[in-house]
Amino acid sequence: MKNKLNSLFIAGALVFSAQTAIAEEVVNVLNWSDYIDEQVNEDFTAATGIKVVYDVFDSNEVLEAKLLAGGSGYDVVVPSSSFLARQIQAGVFQKLDKSKLSNIGNMWSDIEDQVAQFGPLNDYSVNYMWGTTGIGYNEGMINERMENAPTSSLAMVFDPDVVSKFADCGVHLLNAPTEIIPAALAYLGEDPRSTDSDVIAKAEAVLTAVRPHIQKFHSSQYIDALANGDICLVVGWSGDIFMAQYAAWDAENGVEIVYSIPEEGALMWFDQLAVPKDAPNAENAHKYINWIMDPEQIATATNYVWYANGNLASQPLLEEDLLNDPAVYPTPEVMAGLYISPTYDARSQRVITRTWTKVTTGQ
């Protein structure tokens, strides 16, 4: 009898647990690593009762593979603009219902205009953060190895005679072929926005020449490594390098990190909040995106990660040093030298993939 009662109790508990799980409101979010203040998610749950199930990724290629396979289970994802444009064409995303986004008027038209160059992205997404891809370096370690190093030039990483001087203190490049290859083209004086396969192929010789001096291709590990003085030079995302800078200051470890936008030009990128077509909780996805568009919430995120955002109404709430830093919010003169990533067709994407695989693996 006791065993029977135990069985009934367990069965009842399982039913109750299943009913609770069904009733629980959730939104499944897949975002870049180290890209939000957790307080934003906690406050969303407190305000709405919707639990945020939050996962991270560290490359557009990883995200794209999940989305194109279908059935990812995510409600909100954050692809970069050039990838999002291609994924929209593949039917991966649903248009946003702007009637459910009461905070849409807070967005910055200048950034929306830039995003519109990729296609109808503003119908399917809103901007989360934007920034540049540039050079981060440990000032002391660089100066020890080379006087008057060309820190404002892509020669720092693409001239073998220069980058070889820093191989012993550690050089990292983003594991992001659609960002590093255009940068190599800019160094050569080619159009970094080119989708011509023959032009893209020219980057291979540049990357192969410096490959022996590159310690690692990775899109997140360089933050801690730079902050701790374990490496001295990276090509990375602006906000990540500022995070490393801040971490070094906070640790008072004597490491001085500097971010430089190369004089040859730099990629300007946009990470967008979007809802997959098969999102299981599309209603909650809209609520989450609307929450992020609240000036106070996105300001909290920006003040934490040190990336510029596409929300004009948030700017009075940003830390003054951040808003006035031209490396975060570039001047019009610097903006004029920035370029956006093209949307590659299948042929040019194959060239990029083949080139990157050969360079990173040596095969």
Span 238-269, pLDDT tens digits:
999 999 999 999 999 999 999 999 999 999 99
Lowest mean pLDDT among 27-41, 123-137, 217-231, 333-347: 333-347
Query: Which strand (E) or helix (H) includes residue 244?
Result: helix 238-251
**What integer pLDDT is reported at residue 343 of this predicted model?**
85
Q: Residue 7 above 90 pLDDT? A: no
Q: Residue 9 above 90 pLDDT? A: no
Q: Residue 2 above 50 pLDDT? A: no
Strands 257-260 and 125-138: antiparallel
pLDDT band at 341 (very low <50, low <70, confident <90, very high): confident
pLDDT band at 362 (very low <50, low <70, confident <90, very high): confident
pLDDT band at 19 (very low <50, low <70, confident <90, very high): very low
Average pLDDT over residues 17-42: 82
The 10s digit of each residue's pLDDT in 79-126 is 999 999 999 999 999 999 999 999 999 999 999 999 999 999 999 999
User: Is 273 within 8 Å of 27 (Cβ atoms)?
Assistant: no
Task: Please state at what angle helix 177-188 crosses helix 203-210, rounded to 10 degrees.
Answer: 100
Backbone angles phi, psi at 358, to 5 degrees: -65, -40
Count, in order, helices (H) and strands (E) of the chain: 19, 10
**What integer pLDDT is reported at residue 21 of this predicted model?**
41
Percentage of residues in the chain with pLDDT exceeding 90? 88
Of the chain, the end-to-end C-alpha distance in Å amounts to 68
Q: Residue 1 above 50 pLDDT? A: no
The 10s digit of each residue's pLDDT in 41-86 is 999 999 999 999 999 999 999 999 999 999 999 999 999 999 999 9
**What integer pLDDT is reported at residue 74 of this predicted model?**
98
Q: How many CB atoms lie within 10 A of CB 194?
A: 18
The mean pLDDT of the chain is 93
Question: Would you say the C-alpha torsion 36, 39, 45, 47 has a positive or negative sign?
Answer: negative
Percentage of residues in the chain with pLDDT exceeding 70? 93
Measure the CA–CA gap between 184 and 191, rounded to whole angstroms.
Answer: 10
Q: Residue 4 above 70 pLDDT? A: no
Measure the CA–CA gap between 323 and 237, rounded to whole angstroms.
Answer: 17
Measure the CA–CA gap between 140 and 238, rounded to whole angstroms.
Answer: 20
Quote the radius of gyration of the chain (alpha carbons, Å).
22
The 10s digit of each residue's pLDDT in 283-308 is 999 999 999 999 999 999 999 999 99
**What integer pLDDT is reported at residue 342 of this predicted model?**
86
User: Is 324 within 8 Å of 344 (Cβ atoms)?
Assistant: no
The 10s digit of each residue's pLDDT in 173-204 is 999 999 999 999 999 999 999 999 999 999 99
